[in-house]
């Protein structure tokens, strides 16, 4: 009944109430409007304020502690109606205490509980960047669903995820949280993750409200430095950074989070053109926009707000509905309204959105939804979620090099030395934002290998080095292990705290102590398989770059050991592809495979041609560009079919014959890239427009069809509008690094 009334009001037949509301607003339900009419200003400001949960805190969240008050004071504030939402708490028992307190407040408005569940709550999955390597929206949807079931069973309704910031600068630590450098992959995974988290019905006890973040452009921080300023053209914003948000909103995301960065001189938390004109007007988003942590108060440090009251005023007027952790809204909004510095309508509109969100979650009908001890016991660390976590972990691994078919390894008869700080380590399996996960629950590489080897005694494990510094006698012991082995597995790379928020790096290399270990071990002359651990693309050098076999294994979470073992010994075919380009050198950043041409591009055949675009010491190329990765078989492509001419806006059907020319069953990722030859604005030299997966037995063949959707050929023209310009488009279909077939078509 209420839903149908809202639908009517949000449709073409906008009633008079809706017509009076600000851009993008729709009238709320009778229940919400009635409640709003009963609320005092302080109660309204309370609903617009959220705080780190001190009633049921979890150990390791990234944020600095700001204004702690303790659990009892927090319960008192909840009873007084001064808090609308708590975040980053975990567990049903504490959730019940907090919700009971909320139900003794004057208007009995229930709390919502949110958390930074980026890649798992208790059961930790691969970091989102790793999962993106599967290039599989359906897998991401299933993973997000499994995570939602476990998370909601722990008394949480809302996640601050997915992170959908396109990331083209690998120095930026938060690359780990998203889907990498490509726009289409970001769009598809943003939508899939939102659908998975939220499920079919937001009122269900296992529905987890999604928050695509950080609106918008955070991934383009200058120099890749955390929290730095962002400045970009409108076309760049619309072509690269906005599409994943559009996709997430179209998938029904109920909230978004404003970025804390400066955007073109106006920090996003105070940026009305972005948070109101664009978010509400252009994108028609009608969910809740929550600030980032303390971001409204940070307007003072940015130098655009004079004091805390001024910061609160700027934030609410820009379009922030809910203030996170600073307490600025609850402290200052009542006076700001009384003094006429903030119109009551702005506060009411934000309250309307927050209450509507709670209503959409079913909290008014059942404030204790997702607070059920039996569900908590049943779903936490269940067999079902562990299976999905393992599937995602194996699908995340990318085989980048395999000279002479060194992999897969035989399960018997070989002496294996597992060398490096991550061989037997459990503390660094999860990576950043592993919320309520316990590092001790994870399965390390050595344990995973022993479980699969016919004779586990043939495995020798030696750290050789710590993550950031050498170990006394470490290299010597590693050399003994290497000399006694037939094969060396080198488990090296970044520690869990080297990527993620606040962990930008200027030099994205394997730490020097581990590089020294790799050089010494390589000199022994045994075949080396590098098992790289990382939260971003790295610039590999020396013995690590030159090892005959290389697996990108990211932070795979709790199922690290079994997943790596499955791939190493060929129980599972490696099917991951890089969602970020591995550069030749750190100084190439930012860099992406779909960069635009310069006026003096260097030819691929001679990328260091004098006078052409390159660095003095590196070409304008990647060591392993976006999409790199192979399996244990090979594919051949032939018989490309594509139309000669298509009408602008029409779908372009393309197909190709794929044949497995190896000796094992394998899965090919067939990818289609496009280049617009002549346009009014410069275009990417190539950009992925579609992909599909096909699994074929040895010798088998299939025709794979890919469709470029009509709008995918559009560009943002100089006047800011989206247009498809007629002309010739080149296209390439590939099945991995060397296998590529090309053609072109004309758009009328
Ligand atoms: C991060 C957000 C996160 C928030 C709450 C901030 O530091 O930027 O992504 O959701 O903290 O924990």
What are 10-66's pLDDT values in tens digits? 322 223 333 334 444 567 999 999 999 999 999 999 999 999 999 999 976 778 889
Name the closest-CA residue to atom 5, ligand 1. Answer: 293
What average pLDDT does range 366-393 have in this prediction?
A: 98
The per-residue pLDDT for 1 is 31
| 63 CA: nearest ligand 1 atom | 7
Strands 459-462 and 416-419: parallel
- Rounded alpha-carbon distances, angstroms, from residue 55 to 78, 90, 325: 11, 9, 15
What average pLDDT does range 696-725 have in this prediction?
A: 96
For residue 435 and ligand 1, the question of a CB distance below 6 A is answered with no
Confidence of residue 383 (pLDDT cuts 50, 70, 90): very high
Enumerate residues 6+ apart whose C-beta is below 8 A from 120: 147, 150, 389, 434, 435, 437, 557, 558
Cα–Cα distance for residue pair 303/81, rounded to 1 Å: 32
* Closest-CA residue to 206 (of 56, 375, 92): 375
Reply yes or no on whether the pLDDT at 147 is more than 50: yes
| 260 CA: nearest ligand 1 atom | 8
Residues forming beta bridges with residue 727, ordered by sequence position: 747
Q: Whole-prediction pTM value?
A: 0.96
Cα–Cα distance for residue pair 530/535, rounded to 1 Å: 16
Among 292, 435, 503, the mutation site with the greatest number of ligand 1 atoms within 8 A of its Cβ is 292
Q: Is the peptide bond before 208 cis (omega within 30 degrees of 0)?
A: no
Q: Which domains are assigned to the chain?
A: 54-376 (3.20.20.300), 392-588 (3.40.50.1700), 633-747 (2.60.40.10)
Answer yes or no: are the C-beta atoms of 302 and 317 closer than 8 Å: no
For residue 160 and ligand 1, the question of a CB distance below 6 A is answered with yes
Answer yes or no: are the C-beta atoms of 724 and 648 closer than 8 Å: yes
Indicate which residues carry an active-site annotation: 292
- 531's tokens: 């098992």
Q: Ligand 1 center to residue 103 CA distance, Å?
A: 28
pLDDT more than 90, % of the chain = 94
Name the closest-CA residue to atom 2, ligand 1. Answer: 292
What average pLDDT does range 533-550 have in this prediction?
A: 98
Q: Ligand 1 center to residue 45 CA distance, Å?
A: 21
Q: Ligand 1 center to residue 433 CA distance, Å?
A: 10
Among 87, 116, 172, 212, the mutation site with the greatest number of ligand 1 atoms within 8 A of its Cβ is 116
State pLDDT tens for residues 562-578.
999 999 999 999 999 99
Reply yes or no on whether the pLDDT at 137 is more than 70: yes
DSSP secondary structure letters along 526-557: --EEEEEE-SS-----HHHHH-SEEEE----G
Answer yes or no: are the C-beta atoms of 497 and 169 closer than 8 Å: no
Q: Ligand 1 center to residue 2 CA distance, Å?
A: 33
* Closest-CA residue to 563 (of 433, 442, 437): 442
């Amino acid at each position: 009944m209420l839903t149908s009334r809202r639908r009517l009001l949000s449709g073409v037949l906008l009633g008079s109430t809706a017509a009076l509301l600000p851009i993008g607003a729709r009238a709320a339900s009778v229940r919400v409007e009635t409640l709003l009419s009963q609320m005092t200003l302080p109660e309204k400001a309370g609903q617009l304020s959220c705080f780190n949960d001190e009633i049921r805190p979890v150990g390791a969240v990234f944020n600095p502690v700001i204004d702690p008050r303790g659990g009892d004071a927090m319960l008192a504030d909840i009873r007084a109606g001064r808090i609308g939402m708590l975040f980053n708490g975990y567990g049903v028992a504490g959730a019940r205490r907090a919700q009971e307190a909320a139900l003794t407040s004057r208007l009995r408005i229930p709390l919502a509980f949110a958390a930074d569940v980026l890649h798992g709550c208790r059961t930790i999955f691969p970091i989102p960047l790793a999962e993106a390597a599967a290039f599989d929206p359906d897998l991401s949807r299933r993973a997000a669903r499994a995570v939602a079931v476990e998370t909601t069973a722990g008394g949480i309704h809302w996640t601050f995820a997915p992170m959908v910031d396109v990331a083209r600068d690998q120095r930026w630590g938060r690359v780990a949280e998203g889907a990498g450098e490509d726009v289409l992959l970001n769009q598809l995974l943003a939508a899939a993750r939102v659908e998975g988290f939220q499920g079919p019905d937001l009122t269900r006890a296992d529905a987890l409200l999604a928050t695509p973040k950080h609106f918008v452009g955070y991934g383009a921080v200058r120099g890749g430095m955390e929290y730095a300023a962002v400045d970009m053209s409108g076309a760049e914003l619309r072509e690269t950074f906005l599409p994943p948000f559009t996709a997430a909103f179209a998938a029904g995301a109920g909230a978004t989070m404003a970025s804390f960065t400066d955007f073109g001189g106006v920090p996003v938390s105070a940026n009305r053109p972005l948070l109101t004109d664009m978010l509400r007007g252009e994108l028609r988003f009608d969910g809740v926009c929550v600030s980032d942590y303390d971001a409204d108060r940070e307007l003072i440090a940015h130098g655009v707000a004079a004091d805390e009251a001024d910061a609160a005023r700027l934030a609410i007027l820009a379009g922030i509905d809910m203030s996170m952790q600073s307490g600025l809204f609850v402290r200052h909004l009542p006076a700001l309204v009384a003094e006429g510095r903030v119109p009551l309508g702005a506060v009411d509109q934000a309250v309307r959105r927050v209450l509507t969100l709670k209503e959409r979650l079913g909290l008014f009908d059942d404030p204790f939804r997702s607070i059920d001890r039996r569900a908590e016991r049943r779903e936490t660390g269940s067999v079902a979620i562990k299976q999905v976590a393992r599937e995602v972990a194996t699908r995340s691994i990318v085989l980048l090099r395999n000279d002479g078919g060194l992999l897969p390894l035989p399960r018997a008869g070989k002496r294996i030395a597992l060398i490096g700080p991550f061989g037997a380590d459990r503390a660094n399996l999860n990576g950043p934002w592993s919320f309520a996960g316990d590092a001790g629950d994870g399965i390390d590489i050595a344990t995973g290998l022993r479980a699969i080897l016919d004779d586990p005694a043939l495995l020798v494990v030696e750290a050789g080095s710590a993550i950031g510094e050498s170990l006394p006698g470490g290299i010597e012991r590693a050399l003994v292990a290497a000399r006694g082995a037939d094969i060396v597995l080198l488990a090296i790379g970044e520690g869990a705290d080297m990527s993620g928020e606040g962990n930008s790096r200027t030099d994205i290399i394997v730490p020097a102590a581990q590089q020294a270990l790799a050089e010494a071990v390589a000199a022994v002359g045994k075949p080396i398989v590098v098992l790289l651990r990382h939260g971003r693309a790295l610039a590999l050098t020396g013995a690590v770059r030159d090892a005959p076999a290389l697996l990108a294994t990211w932070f795979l979470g709790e199922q690290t050991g079994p997943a790596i073992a499955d791939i190493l010994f060929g129980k599972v075919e490696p099917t991951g592809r890089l969602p970020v380009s591995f550069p030749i050198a750190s100084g190439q950043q930012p860099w992406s495979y779909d960069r635009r041409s310069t006026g003096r591009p260097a030819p691929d055949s001679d990328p260091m041609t004098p006078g052409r675009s390159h660095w003095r010491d590196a070409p304008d190329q990647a060591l392993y560009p976006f999409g790199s990765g192979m399996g244990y078989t090979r594919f051949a492509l032939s018989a490309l079919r594509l139309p000669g001419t298509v009408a602008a806006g029409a779908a372009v059907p393309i197909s190709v014959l794929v044949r497995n020319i190896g000796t094992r069953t394998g899965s090919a990722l067939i990818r289609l890239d496009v280049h617009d030859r002549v346009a009014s604005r410069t275009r990417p030299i190539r950009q992925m427009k579609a992909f599909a997966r096909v699994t074929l037995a040895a010798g088998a063949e299939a025709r794979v069809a890919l469709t470029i959707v009509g709008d995918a050929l559009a560009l943002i023209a100089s006047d800011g509008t989206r247009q498809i310009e007629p002309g010739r488009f080149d296209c390439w279909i590939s099945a991995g690094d060397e296998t590529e077939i090309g053609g072109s078509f004309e758009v009328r």
